[in-house]
Amino acid sequence: MGRVPQRCLRKLAVRPVTARTDTNALPGTSRAGRSLYWRYMVEPFLYLSPAIVLIGTIILIPLIIGISYSFQSIEILNPFATGWVGFENYVDLWSDRRFWIALENTFWWTFWSVSFQFFLGLGLALLLNTHFFGKKLFQALVFLPWAVPTFLSALTWAWLFNPTIGPLPHWMAALGILDEPYNIMGDPDPALWGPIVANIWFGVPFFAITLLAALQSIPGELYEAAEIDGASPWQTFTKITLPFLAPMIAITVMLRTIWIANFADLIFVMTGGGPANSTQILSTYIFTTAFRRLDFGFASTIAVALLAILLIYAVFVLWLRKRLVKI
């Protein structure tokens, strides 16, 4: 879920419909009319219908219901308070201090996670695009974090940050980052860095895989030509590699940003949003509101707000990309 859609998304975005030549001829020939009707209107849907039905009933209908919840009061623990309340939830949201804290945390969480994942992933992809001994094994091992279930990554890193059984606080104390070995996730100031580090660990392989695929599709002749012309490695990188990677980078970073902003598992398991909401991001706030307080109306309101923010972001990035490409 959400883990690797990039390639396919991209592929479809780049060439949404490959060949539509036959559509004009559709109503014409009467002899073939019936079979064309069959081919274009019926047969594809025989293969598609299970997927459409499931997505419709399990995702789309609940999505609409969810949006309608944001205009209702639905508290499972307080069944008498149920009913339509108009924009009351949104008014509450606007004056909810925790919402604004969570919004700010969402920004930093996403910003630092994506930045580190991207630069470390790019570095790894560049390394993997060279030749060295034992590359296949190295690649398999270095991609392994990506296969680790998220709840387990979260627990493992929570343990690593625990001074009783984890080495990290002791190392950080030895390096002078901490005064004494304590758990940074118990201290509101640095707490968010715990889940961010876990997220970086988990997400670097993904960026590396995507960028490596893009690197491997750059024609080798370009590098040969550059070498003949006496280009330095840095020139080769900035003049050939980066321009070729740029479209892939743009789309991957955008999708990853959205995905990470939605990604609640790590924080929920590692800190539960605490201490004092210092690691609460919008998606964990949605989940805790729904799961612990069973206040479905308010949870849906936060979700709608998050969706709106992400939509604005996506539109902005696409607009920016269009502008930049024009110039």
- Window 83-122: residues binding other proteins (CB under 8 A): 120
Could you say which residues in the range 207-236 bind other proteins, by CB under 8 A?
Answer: 209-210, 212-214, 216-218, 223, 227, 233, 236
Does position 167 bind other proteins by CB under 8 A? yes
* Residues in region 183-212 near other proteins by CB under 8 A: 201, 204-205, 209-210, 212
- Among residues 104, 77, 112, 80, the alpha carbon closest in space to that of 285 is found at 104
Output b/e per residue, 232-251; b: 16+ Cβ within 10 A. eeeebeeebbeebbeebbbb
Instruction: List the x/- string, 127-146, binding to other proteins by CB under 8 A.
Output: x-xxxx-----xxxxxxxxx
Q: Which of 1, 175, 228, 327 binds other proteins (CB under 8 A)?
A: 1
Query: Which lies closer to other proteins via its Cβ, residue 103 or residue 189?
Result: 103
| Residue with smaller CB distance to other proteins, 133 or 189 | 133
- 80 is an interface residue for other proteins by CB under 8 A: no
For residue 182, the minimal CB distance to other proteins (Å) is 13
Query: Which residues make Cβ contacts (< 8 Å) with residue 155, sequence separation at least 6?
Result: 269
First-to-last alpha carbon distance for the chain, in angstroms, is 36
Among 3, 91, 225, 235, binds other proteins (CB under 8 A): 3
Residue from 101, 160, 253, 317 binding other proteins (CB under 8 A): 160
- The answer to whether residue 270 forms part of the interface with other proteins (CB under 8 A) is no
If one asks whether residue 28 binds other proteins (CB under 8 A), the answer comes out as no
Length of the chain: 327
Among the listed residues 223, 322, 202, the one whose alpha carbon sits nearest the alpha carbon of residue 270: 202
Query: Are 79 and 288 in contact, with CB atoms under 8 Å apart?
Result: no
Q: Cα dihedral sign for 48, 53, 56, 59?
A: negative
Task: Report if residue 15 touches other proteins, rule: CB under 8 A.
Answer: yes
Indicate whether 172 belongs to the interface with other proteins (CB under 8 A).
no
Determine contact, residues 111/119, Cβ cutoff 8 Å: no
Query: Which of 17/189 has CB closer to other proteins?
Result: 17
**For residues 46 and 327, which CB has a smaller minimum distance to other proteins in the complex?**
46
Q: Give me the least distance between CB of 325 and other proteins, in Å please.
A: 13
The count of chain residues that interact with other proteins, using the rule CB under 8 A, is: 120
What is the Cα–Cα distance from 294 to 302, expressed in whole angstroms?
A: 14
**Nearest to other proteins of 14, 189 (CB atom):** 14
Among 109, 157, 193, 207, the residue binding other proteins under the rule CB under 8 A is: 157
Q: Which long-range contacts (CB under 8 A, 24 or more apart) does 182-191 make?
A: 185/158, 185/161, 185/270, 185/271, 185/275, 185/279, 186/275, 187/275, 188/275, 188/276, 188/278, 189/278, 191/271, 191/274, 191/275, 191/278, 191/279
Binding status of residue 319 toward other proteins by CB under 8 A:
no
CA dihedral 209, 214, 219, 225 (to 10 degrees): -90
When binding is defined by CB under 8 A, the residue of 103, 173, 231, 310 that contacts other proteins is 310
